[in-house]
Amino acid sequence: MFDLQAESHNNVDILRLTGDVLLADVVEFNRRMEEGMAASNVPQAILDLSQAGRMDNAGLGVLVSISTKLQGRGRRLVLLNPAPHVAQLLKDAEIEGFFPTCESEEELKGYTPDTAE
- The pLDDT of residue 10 is 66
Number of domains forming the structure of the chain: 1
Is the pTM above the cut of 0.75? yes
Find the CATH number of the domain harbouring 38.
Answer: 3.30.750.24
Within-domain flag for 116 = no
Q: pLDDT digits over 7-20, tens only? A: 877 667 789 999 99
Within-domain flag for 10 = yes
Within-domain flag for 31 = yes
Burial of 116 (0-12, 13-18, 19+ CB in 10 A): exposed
Within-domain flag for 79 = yes
Mean pLDDT of 84-97: 94
Helix, strand, coil abundance in the chain, percent, nearest 5: 45, 30, 25
C-alpha torsion angle, residues 30, 3, 59, 87 (rounded to 10): 130
Q: pLDDT digits over 52-89, tens only? A: 999 999 999 999 999 999 999 888 999 999 999 999 99
The range of the structural domain enclosing residue 98 comes to 2-111
